[in-house]
Structure 1
Amino acid sequence: MIITVTFCLYIALVFTLGVYAYRRTHDASDYYLGGRSLSPWVAALSAGASDMSGWVLIGLPGYAYIAGIEAAWMAIGLCMGVAAAWLLLARRLRKYSYALDDAVTLPAYFQRRFAVSSPWLRSICAVFILLFFLFYVSSGLMGGGKLFVSVFGMDYQLAVILGTLAVISYTLFGGFLAVSWTDVVQALLMTLALIIVPAVALSGMDDFRGNLAAQNPAMLELWTNRHGEPLTFIAWASLVGWGLAYFGQPHILARFKAVRSEDDVPTAATIGISWSLLVYSMSVLVGMVGAAYIAQPLADPEKVFMVLVEVIFNPVVAGVLLAAILAAIMSTVDSQLLVCSSALAEDIIDAWTKRDIHSSVALKLGRAAVVLLATLACLMALDPNSKVLDVVAYAWGGLGAAFGPALLVSLYWRRMTAAAAMAGIFVGGTTVVVWAQFSGGWFDLYELVPGFFFSLATVIIVSLLTPAPSDDVQQLFAKLMLPGKN
């Protein structure tokens, strides 16, 4: 009963933020980028929270529970990816997207960056966004459903539906401002949970390392797998390679574009990188502490955080800490729904109607798209046997491979062409889809890694083989991006 009350209070809080943001949302730019009004703290914590779905409290601790310190390689790769994205992309993307007639979405940025009139480039971007984000959103709803089943004992399908309605409620009305503000609340709640749970568990153990070594000494070895065998290059690259995807996550990139000012980017970057280091390291520690603290092996390793909370804390504190899982899930799903909504409303419907749509109409289209896409994702999530982490890895890799190389090169090389962007996005996304269908040998490499580098090579080669962009495009690039040209 106490845990139920805690969850209800949390839902009431985020709904209140959504209603307040609704009163400040007047057009599509407000809805999708919050009018570019995010402070450094809000932008940084929102970027982190929208990135770190429930897998930071479910999937990564579960992996660390069975693999030990080997999981640190994934955390290291992700932290490197966060730092690279903030340092290499944030300021340039904020500046360039604003100069390109306030390009709200990533597909709109690509179309205006290369000054192409055809909607094909924008639409191909939107198709890959919808494809991979539907899986991503669905995985979040699966995680929420499984959390509700664990806490309340309710039917899984009902739990998924209730979670979907909760997310729609404030994403639908408040848009980007509601999502960003609730992300800050959720980021702080996630951080609190990840610090408190392992700290309290460690205080109750006499010999953490000894307990862990007694179960499996290999869990304390960074360069071996859980079986005590040396990590292969494929295994190591698959773990560290997760960080490559940060260059191409539209819901994270939206925070870069929405920072209040270019001058705020360094502060936001410092906050975002520091927060990610803390969260990822504590997430791995939760799993390892759980392996040493919990006497009986868990049938489902991904429940290690929940079990620790229920074993260690009283119901009031447990309710707050378990709400952190819901926070992690909701903070990602809402952001992804918003990106899907903009892809459908702005980059497909608007692009192909060949006429200007009033901003208020675009806003209504965006809100309708949220309902449609959330419903589709909910239907995909109704299978209780689906594996959350597998779906997350697929969607994360697909987005990173499709958009990361094209975006990165477009911000640093004025010779890049529209044909190269289209080809790179197609090759990256398609490689992930195809690579994931095979296994054994090199196909055991995480599909993001080959997808990213195949896409990068495609962008460079096609740019060199196709005519250079127009003088206007190259001059704008030089004015905005080259030192001494501003």
Structure 2
Amino acid sequence: MKLPILIAMVLYMAIVVWIGAFYSRKTKTSEDYFLGGRGLGPWVTAMSAEASDMSSWLLMGLPGLAYATGFSQAGWTAIGLILGTYLNWKIVAKRLRHYTEVADNAITVPDFFSNRFKDDKKILSSISAIMILIFFTVYTASGFAACGTLFNSVFGLNYQKSMIVCAIVIVLYTSMGGFLAASTTDLIQGLLMSFAIVIVLIVGIVNAGGVANVVAHGQALDGFFDIMKYHDPATGNAVSQGSIPILSGLAWGLGYFGMPHILVRFMAIRDPQEVKKSRNIAMIWVLISLSVAVCIGFTGAALYPNVAELAGNGNQRIFIYMTTHLFKGLLPLFMAGIILSGILAATMSTSDSQLLIASSCVSKNLFQGLFKKEMSEEKVLLISRITTIVIALIGIFIAMDENSSVFGLVENAWAGFGGAFGPLTLFALFWKRTNLKGAIAGMLSGGIIALVWPFTLAKLGGIFEIYCLLPAFIVSSILIIVVSLCTEEPSEVMAEEFERAKSLND
């Protein structure tokens, strides 16, 4: 009876591979492969940025958190992401688009940092590339884990084998078609994700007996709708969380300023004047998607309370569980397959961007930038494609544990990028006094704190339990300011480029 579901999902994967093959013929240079020749329209820019942002976390991690604990943890995180998305589009997008052209036509994020601060020794771009490799490998693993969980939950297929097959599909279309294939599939995937979560929410509410019944069930659970407490499913009691978890949820929004797979979309938009249109499209999508994802968790709690397989990390399967139980019959099951393809879409739309950016860092910023300055375009593309495969293999290894938390993996990678790149992106764009030494100090401190905080200071409890992105962001910002002021002023060339980029934005 689940054959129609499988057919729909296999059909979807075949379509994205075909898109990769189609764009492989249009990808001739490294700029085409990494940035699509700066030719993205407003719709593709907006949808690819947001689809590559949300990942499987939107359909698994966030609904699962809301299902298990109620509003507080999931809701504050969603609010932080909404605010971060808006500010990123409002203050970063257009300025970054202009500045990357002014700064020697940078086509990767490490390129921009290196060109912005005239880093002739490529120290900054090398550190950036290494951090991108570390954090994106973990991020990619979260996507592969979501794919394995999906096929294991729906069809009972082996988790590891399913995860590997999906990884192969992602690598195929990404390595063939590059940025244009990734961005085009992201547009399709973003629309599919929206369709999936809205349909599941509507059908779920109808089966739960209406919105009133969903709300009544949540009100009956201690702390479920409380903004300062969360519901503990193990005890059935409300747990007071104070301000630290709320600040942690809101701090997720800071991560946007440092996400390379989002920043590169800003760099690739066809016309900077189209940024406002893209921002409006992106914000509508984000508001609907995040709100609906949280409400799916609430609805699932009303429909399927106390289900053993949804306990613990199993709560991240609530979207899958709802879909397979709400849709019956051949046609509805085919529809369920399309809906569950939304999880594949969420995973692929993020993983393709991460693999692409990581491969660009190895080929352009490490291999070409440090070891072999003169390389043909064909060799750059070959190294990029090989790197894509290698990173995918490492991601597969990390994701082999089927009990790994999608939310946890994304949380760690998000903090790493937000702490290392977020403050530096803002200071590079808005503070002329920022210099190379300040940039290096800020990037290193932010990345290191994000990496070590969860395993050191966070174990002390209390205020130290705050999401590591916030202290990493703060310390990075302070060091950028202090080190820049205590060392030499930026060169006249840097100052002139800063003013030129600023005038283009005004």
CA distance in 1, matches of 2:390, 2:215: 50
2:205 is equivalent to residue 187 of structure 1: no
Match of 1:62 in 2: 64
Please list, as runs of the form range in 1=range in 2, the aligned pairs for 1:183-332 lying within 5 A after superposition. Answer: 183-204=186-207, 205-206=209-210, 207-214=213-220, 216-226=221-231, 227-297=237-307, 298-299=310-311, 300-314=314-328, 315-332=333-350
Paired residue secondary structure (2:181)? helix
Q: Distance in 1 between matches of 2:162 and 2:372?
A: 41
Q: Is the 8 A contact 2:17 2:172 kept in 1?
A: yes
User: How many angstroms apart in 1 are the aligned matches of 2:144 and 2:323?
Assistant: 22
User: How many angstroms apart in 1 are the aligned matches of 2:426 and 2:23?
Assistant: 32
Structure 2: distance between partners of 1:337 and 1:480: 30
1:479 to 1:423, Cα distance in 2 relative to 1, 3 A: same
Q: Distance in 1 between matches of 2:203 and 2:390?
A: 43
* 1: CA distance, partners of 2:350 / 2:238: 35
* CA distance in 1: counterparts of 2:414 and 2:395, whole angstroms: 16
The alignment status of 1:132 with 2:139, answered yes or no, reads no
How many Å separate the matches in 2 of 1:107 and 1:61? 34
Q: Which amino acid aligns with 1:401?
A: G
Q: 1 CA distance for matches of 2:289 and 2:140?
A: 22
How has the CA–CA distance of structure 1 residues 295 and 67 changed in structure 2, closer, same or farther, with 3 Å as cutoff?
closer
Matches within 5 A, 1:64-83: 64-70=66-72, 71-83=74-86
How big is the shift at 1:46? 0.2
Paired AA for residue 22 in structure 2: Y
Alpha-carbon distance between aligned partners in 2 of 1:183 and 1:391, rounded to the nearest angstrom: 21
Mapping of residues 337-486 of structure 1, within 5 Å: 337-353=355-371, 355-438=373-456, 439=459, 440-482=461-503
Task: Provide the alpha-carbon RMSD of the alignment.
Answer: 1.4
Mapped to 1, the partners of 2:446 and 2:393 lie a distance apart of 28
Deviation at 1:354, TM superposition (A): 5.0
| Equivalent position of 1:48 in the other structure | 50
Any idea what SS the aligned residue of 1:317 has?
helix
**Deviation string, structure 1 residues 58-97 (Cα, Å, up to 9, x no partner):** 0000000012121211100000010011111100110011
| Runs (4+) off by over 6 Å | none
Q: Which amino acid aligns with 1:48?
A: E
Q: Secondary structure at the match of 1:179?
A: helix
Q: CA deviation at 1:233?
A: 1.5
Question: For the residues of structure 1 that align with 2:260 and 2:294, how far apart are their CA atoms?
Answer: 26
Q: Which residue identity is paired with 1:254? A: V
Q: Percent same amino acid among aligned pairs?
A: 39
Normalising by structure 1, report the TM-score.
0.97
Inter-partner Cα distance in structure 2 for 1:164 and 1:6: 18
2-structure distance, mates of 1:151, 1:306 = 7
Q: CA deviation at 1:364?
A: 1.6
Q: Report the residue type matching 2:228 in the other structure.
A: W
Are 2:174 and 1:171 equivalent residues in the alignment? yes
* Secondary structure of residue in 2 paired with 1:225: strand
The answer to whether the 8 Å contact 2:154/2:324 transfers is: no
Q: Deviations over 1:148-203 (max 9, x none)?
A: 11122121221121011010110010000000000011100100111111111112
Q: Secondary structure of the residue that 1:228 maps to in structure 2?
A: strand
**Counterpart residue identity of residue 266, structure 2:** F
- Residues 92-112 of structure 1 deviation map (CA, whole Å, 9 limit, x = unaligned): 110011222220111110110
AA paired with 1:391? L
Aligned residue pairs total 484
1:230 Cα deviation from its structure 2 partner: 4.2
Please report how far the alpha carbon of residue 336 of structure 1 lies from its aligned counterpart in structure 2 after TM superposition. Answer: 0.4
For 1:429-467, what per-residue CA distance to the aligned partner results, in whole angstroms no more than 9, with x for missing partners?
000111110321222111111001110111111110110
Output one character per residue of 1:363-419: Cα deviation in whole Å (capped at 9) or x when no partner.
Answer: 221111111111121122112232221111001100110000001110001110011
Structure 1 residues without counterparts, runs of 5 or longer:
none
Inter-partner Cα distance in structure 2 for 1:369 and 1:228: 47
| In structure 1, distance between residues paired with 2:473 and 2:466 | 12
Q: Amino acid of the residue matched to residue 480 of structure 1?
A: A
Superimposed CA distance per residue, residues 24-59 of structure 1 (whole angstroms, 9 cap, x where no aligned partner) = 111000001111111000000000000111010000
How far residue 294 of structure 1 moved from its aligned partner, in angstroms, is 1.5
Q: Distance in 2 between matches of 1:335 and 1:288?
A: 31
Q: Shift of the alpha carbon at 1:229?
A: 4.4
Structure 2: runs of 5 or more not aligned: 232-236
Counterpart Cα distance in 1 of 2:114 and 2:355: 22
2:99 to 91, 96, 100: 96
2-structure distance, mates of 1:180, 1:229: 42
Candidates 145, 151, 155, aligned match of 1:142: 145
Q: Partners in 2 of 1:387 and 1:210 — Cα distance?
A: 30
Q: In structure 1, what is the Cα distance between the partners aligned to 2:65 and 2:268?
A: 34
Partner Cα distance (1:359, 1:53) in 2: 31
Equivalent-residue separation in structure 2 for 1:483 and 1:186 (angstroms): 33
- Aligned AA for 1:36? R
- Residue of 24, 27, 49 corresponding to 1:25: 27
Read off the aligned partner of 1:178 and give its amino acid letter.
Answer: A
The residue that corresponds to 1:334 in the other structure is: 352
